[in-house]
Amino acid sequence: CSASANKPVLTLFTKKPCPLCDEAKEVLEPYKRRFILQEVDITLPENSVWYDKYKYDIPVFHLNGKFLMKHQVDIQKFEDQLMKLELQND
């Protein structure tokens, strides 16, 4: 289906354990049909660049490859950006 090809990708930079990440995912749950969630474990060796950048800031979110927010979900900001991307795709 082509709809999923147009869905924005929300990247979550995380590590285990990350209670704040779990909380963030719960907050985003009602929106999950509108984006693809991609999780990046910053503790993996291939993600060391992200680890150096975000080790004190997770959760960190990028939307379609652009930095969006960190520490917690700013639902207003998230909705605004998601809406913008959805309008571009129509």
Please identify, in words, the CATH class of the domain defined by 9-88.
alpha beta
Cis peptide, bond prior to residue 45, ω within 30 of zero: no
- Could you read off the pLDDT of 23-63 as tens digits, one per residue? 999 999 999 999 999 999 999 999 999 999 999 999 999 99
User: pTM for the whole thing?
Assistant: 0.91
The structural domains of the chain, with segments of one domain joined by +, span 9-88
- Within 10 angstroms of residue 18's Cβ, the number of other Cβ atoms is 18
Tell me, what's the pLDDT at 17?
95
Angle at CA of residue 69, ends 87 and 40, nearest 5°: 95
